[in-house]
Every structure is written in C-alpha cells, then in structure tokens.
Amino acid sequence: MTEFALEINNLQKVYDNNVVALKGIDLKVKKGDFYALLGPNGAGKSSTIGIIGSLVTKSDGTVSVFGNDIDKDLNKAKSLLGVVSQEINFSQFEKVLDIVVTQAGFYGIPKSIAMPKVKSILKRLSLWDKRNFQARTLSGGYKRRLMIAKAIIHEPKLLILDEPTAGVDIELRREMWSFLKEINKNGTTIILTTHYLEEAEQLCRNIGIIDQGSIVANTSMKDLLGTLNVQGFVFDLHQPLEKAPIIEGFPLKLEDPLTLVAAVNKDRSINALFSELTKLNIKIKSMRNESNRLEELFIEMVNSNEK
Amino acid sequence: MNQIDLRSYLLRWSILMKNNFSVAVSLWTLTVKEVRRFLRIWVQTLVPPAVTMSLYFVIFGSLIGPRIGSMDGFDYIQYMIPGLIMLSVITNSYNNVVSSFYSVKFQKSIEELLISPMPNWTILLGFVLGGVCRGVLIGIIVFGVSLLFYPDFTVANPLLTVIVLFLTSILFSLMGFINAVFADSFDDISIIPTFILTPLIYLGGVFYSINILPETWRSISMANPMLYVVNTFREGMLGVSDVSISFSLGMIIVFILILTSSCLYLLNKGTGIRQ
C-alpha cells in the first residue's frame, strides 16, 4: 500500500504547437494532505491537472493515483479521483439535480442509490432549493458550487480543484474554504490551485510552486514561510500618529494615522520592538501578521526562476 | 476445488459482476441523458420531420403522384413511403449524434465523461443509442403520418424492415459521431449533412426507381451507398428493390464494423477531445 495519494514522476508535456508545458516534473502528495499547487498563468498547473484527469495526453512520465498507474489501471485511478475544472463544464440546459445524478451514473452509481447522497451534498452546498433550476440560470457562485457537488458525488479519495474560488465573492469563498476543510478532515486528500495566495496559506499544509513547466519549490507551508527573513506585523494604535517613529533595527511605516506596519528581521525579538514603542509612549490596541507573506515568497521564487 | 480457490474465484467473479454493473449503469445513464436531450427540444427534433413529410405526401403523393402513375407496380405515394422514412431516419440519426457530441465538446461537458471511469466503447455506444432512439422514433412518426395519406399500407416483410431501420440508424449515428469528433465549429457539423448526405439520399432512389434512369446514370447511381440503404428498406416495406438485398445488408454491416473501429480508434487516441 502506497503512502501517497498522488505520485508524479518525470511528467512531460509538449503540445502540438511545440509549446513545452511541462519539463519533467516530480511531485508526491501524501494521503490526507491539503496541498497547494501554485504558479503564474501558463506555468503548467492546468496541464498537470489535465493529465491526472486524463483530459490531456502526456508526452512522457508516469502518474499514479493511490498507487494506480494511469497507463495500466486508468479506470481504477479515475474512480478514486474527483476534479473541479477551472471552466464551467456541465450542460447549461440541464437541471441542477439531473446534472449531479447523471454524474453519479457515469461512475456506475444508479439513481436510487445516488439520491440520498445527492440530496445531502446539494443541501450542504445550499443548492437543494435550486435543484430544479436550469444550470444556466444560476449565478457564478452557485455554478462553482455545482462544479464541486458534481466532483464529489462519487466520494473520491483525491479531489483536485483548479482555481475553484476564481471570481466568487468573499463570503462564498469563506464558505467553500470551510466545506473543503471539512471534507479534508473526513479523509479526502485535496490538491488546490489558486491565484489567491491567502487561500493557500489558510488552507494548505504543503505547497508546490510550478513555474515555466518546472517545480521550483515543494515543501511544507510552515517551512516555506519559515524561509522568510523578514516578517511583517501590523499594529492598530490607540492614538493617531503624525509620522512613523524611527527605531533602530526596526523599519516602520505609517499606513494611516492609526496603523503602523513593522518589518521584523527573523534574528530580532519582537519584545525589543514593544519596549521601544512603550518608551515612545505609543500604545498598541491590537496586532496581526501581514497576510501577504506567501505572496512575497511566491514573487521572489518566480522571479529568481526567470533569471 | 479447495476452499481458497473457491473464495478467490468468488472474489474475482464478484469484482467482475460489480464492474459490469457499473458499466451498465453508466451506459444507461448516458443513453437516458441523450434521449432526454432530444425529447426536451421536441419542437426542434420530432415535429419538423412530421411537418416536412406531410408536405411531401401532400405535394408529391396526393397532388403530383396520380399524374406520375405507378412505380414498380405501386401507387407513387406508396412507393415514396419507404424512401421518405429512410430520408428522415438517416438525417435524424446523423444530426442527433453530430449535434449532441459537438455540443458536449463545445460546452466542455465532455470532461464529465472523460474524467469518469466509463470505457470509451460505452461513451460511443451511449451516443449511438441516443441517435438510434431518435432515428427509430422519427421512423415511426413518419410512418404514422404516411398512414394518414395512405391508410391501406401493409408492410411486406416486417422483420427485414425493423432490421434495416435499426442498422441504418446505427450506421448514420456512427457517421455523425466521426463528423463531430473532427468538427471545430458549428459550420463543420452542417457541411456534411447539407452538401453530401442530403444530395446522396435524394439521388439514392427516395423518389424513383433507378430503372427509369438512362444506362449511364443508372451505373453512376450504383456507386451511391444511399441507394442500397433505401432499396433494402423498400424491400422490407414493399417487397421490391433495385439492388441485391443480401449484398446491401452485408455492406451495411461491414460499414458499421469499419466505422465502429474508426470511432473507437479516434476516442482512444483522443482526437478532437483531448489535448
């Protein structure tokens, strides 16, 4: 029994127009993981997902889903896999209920057996009231939910989501995060590609960064963020300031009169900063991390790969 | 057979049965989806052939037909009935599969099928069965309409008629599938039916026996594959044909086998559906 939900070795893809999308990537995702696959547009994320889901033909390399090689045991691998594609891929003229029941049927689950599961998923995703609506009449957010409902109806052990929250509002995004965390907790391995780096930072335990068809980082989120030399802290102040104070070793900037941002080097203690601020009679109401830490790293890695 | 062998045999048998059941469910699901699709748009799919064929029967059967006289010993309207049924069956089977399969490509819902563990032959069979259901249903509708204009019609060989009806639907559903695989735009799915299929059917003996043509045109007509389909069906319905029935049936079956192999090859290769 393999310990990996997904194993990719030397995966290559060259399209008919000679565009090299993947230059021989290696990737391993452990069972039960919540894994982020990040990369700029055209990096090779969708090609990788397409190959795993057999929507794209690979040029070379091997892919195994829970130990099932897609070249040798494709149908077994497919039965363990659920994919939420980037683009809407259901018939817009069918009813929501029919779309999900039909998808269950494609996995060999008859309607009578699928119905209780369909009902519970549609209810969980707030789609049950819209079950008799034609899919084309749904808003963008509900269409995204329907994509997820469709992908998990056969209870896949590995769920891959290609930018599932692209273009959805913050409330729905948070709802989706909660749902994904729940199914991951229940044992489903999740691989997520996203452009919202905050999303990856919030949800995922491990991360791979892909750029120009190569993996440039593959590590745990904690270790990756630990490579940051400087960490940003945001202080909400009790009283407004006119200009940022000058404290040696701690670059400070004033975002607005009541918000002070500090860059703290990894080898400096934040207690020292507090002491200095207290000496200057600056009272702190609350403090939080700057949330764009992953973004900084991402840009740094992609830029260094381009050089 | 000892106990371990028996257990292992039963386990293998149960896995095989489970897999076969899953495949049967997925095939049934796709076929029902296809049938539901053309029934949902019945005004576009079922009504037009009935209206068009009624016009043919009124104009060519009731008005012009009596002036033409008999054809191969039958009233002209009676002679036309098998041809017009075949015309409808062929175009509807073809159009059903070509438009449905191209639509799932266009809307990307083909991904629902490709991601699922359905074998490729099931995907092909599901679409073909959808085309056959529409073709056969249209055949029945047009036959019903024809009875309004010629109530005394009796089918000479019902078994042959039904066999040819199904084989023709299968054959043209497969052709429609290949057209859809290669189609890149909506223009591509109408070019072949409009510029190739329809002229060949009209020139394939729908309205006349090739025996009335001059020798040269009769020889040229023999190269038209539609002639064999239409005449085999006419043999079933009226008991007359311009061609050899066993040869025609053989050729239809050979073409079905060739086209099935081609469709499966294209699906396995991913032509037009996988990047």
Taking the domains of chain A in order of start, what are their residue ranges? 1-80+156-226, 89-155, 228-293
Whether A191 shows a pLDDT value over 60: the answer reads yes
Q: What does the block give as tokens for A285?
A: 């109401």
pLDDT tens readout for residues A107-131: 998 988 889 999 999 998 888 999 9
Q: Tens digits of per-residue pLDDT, B153-194?
A: 888 999 999 999 999 999 999 999 999 999 988 888 888 888
pLDDT value at residue B28: 94
**Residue of chain B minimizing CA distance to A73:** B117
Q: What is the pLDDT of residues A137-158, one digit of tens each?
A: 998 888 989 999 999 999 999 9
Q: Which two tokens stand for residue A98?
A: 């029919």
The 10s digit of each residue's pLDDT in A42-77 is 888 889 999 998 889 999 999 999 999 998 888 889
Mutate to test the interface with A, among B15, B18, B40, B112 (most CBs of A within 10 A): B112
pLDDT given at position B240: 85
What span, in angstroms and rounded, lies between the C-alpha atoms of A78 and A219? 26
Tell me how far apart the alpha carbons of residues B160 and A52 are, in angstroms, rounded to a whole number.
48
Determine, for residues B275 and A110 on separate chains, whether the beta-carbon distance falls below 8 Å.
no
The pLDDT score that the predictor gives to residue A261 is: 85
Given a cut of 70, is residue A291 above it in pLDDT? Answer: no
Between strands A214-220 and A230-237, the pairing is unpaired
**A146 closest CA partner among A155, A156, A136:** A136
Touching check for A78 and chain B: CB below 8 Å?
A: yes
Q: How confident is the model at residue A262 (pLDDT cuts 50, 70, 90)?
A: confident
Q: Are A187 and A125 in contact (CB under 8 A)?
A: no
Mode of pairing for the β-strands spanning A206-211 and A34-38: parallel
H or E stretch at A210: strand A206-211
Which positions 31-60 of A are in contact with B (Cβ < 8 Å)? 50, 53-57
> Binning pLDDT at 50, 70 and 90, where does residue A227 land?
low
Give pLDDT, residue A246: 85
By the 8 A CB rule, do B146 and B153 touch?
A: yes
Instruction: Answer yes or no: is pLDDT of A222 > 80.
Output: no
Nearest CA of chain B to the CA of A106: how many Å? 4
CB within 8 Å: A93 and B40: yes
For residue A93, give the chain B residue with the closest CA: B37
B193-231 confidence digits (pLDDT tens): 888 888 888 888 888 888 888 888 888 888 888 888 888
Number of other CB atoms surrounding residue A29 within 10 Å: 23
When pLDDT is averaged across residues A222-247 and rounded to a whole number, the result is 79
- Every domain of chain B and the residues it spans: 26-269
**pLDDT at A307 > cutoff 60:** no
Higher pLDDT, B130 or A295: B130
Take residue A246 and report the two structure tokens written for it.
């000058």
For residue A160, the model assigns a pLDDT of 93
Q: With CB atoms and an 8 Å threshold, state whether B117 touches A107.
A: yes
Tell me the CA distances in angstroms from B154 to A92, A266, B143, one per residue in order. Answer: 45, 94, 11
The pLDDT value recorded for residue B2 is 64
Identity at B224, one-letter amino acid code: N
- For A33, how many CA atoms within 13 A lie in the half-sphere containing its CB? 24
Q: How confident is the model at residue B17 (pLDDT cuts 50, 70, 90)?
A: low
pLDDT at position B21 is: 84
A89–B107 C-beta distance less than 8 A = yes
> Which value does ipTM take for this structure?
0.84
Q: Which two tokens stand for residue A223?
A: 């270790």
Residue from A106, A147, A161 to probe the interface with B (highest B Cβ count within 10 Å): A106
> Tens digits of per-residue pLDDT, B38-55?
999 999 989 999 999 889
Confidence of residue A226 (pLDDT cuts 50, 70, 90): low
What is the pairing mode between strands A259-265 and A214-220?
unpaired
Residue B5: which pLDDT band, with cuts at 50, 70 and 90? confident
* Nearest alpha carbon to residue B117 among A27, A65, A6: A65
Least confident of A171-185, A219-233, B106-120: A219-233
Architecture of domain A228-293: 2-Layer Sandwich (3.30)
What pTM does this model have? 0.82
- Tell whether A112 lies on the interface with B, counting CB pairs under 8 A: no
Within 8 A of A19 by CB-CB distance, chain B residues are none
Residues in chain A with CB shorter than 8 Å from the CB of B21 are 108
A236 Cα to chain B: minimum distance (Å): 49
| Model pLDDT for residues B78-102, shown as the tens digit of each residue | 888 999 999 999 999 999 999 999 9
Q: Does A115 touch chain B (CB under 8 A)?
A: no
| CB count in 10 Å sphere of residue A180 | 22
Task: Please identify which residue in the block is written with the tokens 């830029």.
Answer: A303
Comparing A48-52, A88-92, B14-18, the range with the smallest average pLDDT is: B14-18
Closest C-alpha to B172, from B91, B272, B102: B91
**Confidence band for A229, pLDDT divided at 50, 70 and 90:** low
pLDDT digits (tens, 9 = 90+) for B59-79: 887 888 788 878 888 888 888
Q: Please provide the DSSP assignment of A264-295 as one string.
A: EETTS-HHHHHHHHHHTTPPEEEEEE-TTHHH
Distance of CA A87 to the CA centre of its chain: 16
**How many residue pairs from chains A and B have C-beta atoms closer than 8 A?**
79
- Per-residue pLDDT at B33 exceeds 80: yes
Domain A1-80+156-226 CATH superfamily: P-loop containing nucleotide triphosphate hydrolases (3.40.50.300)
Question: Above 60 in pLDDT, residue A263?
Answer: yes
Q: Which two structure tokens, joined as six digits, stand for B263?
A: 């469709």
Check A105 against B112: CB less than 8 A apart. no
Per the document, the length of chain A is 307
Nearest neighbour of A110 by CB, restricted to B25, B115, B116: B25
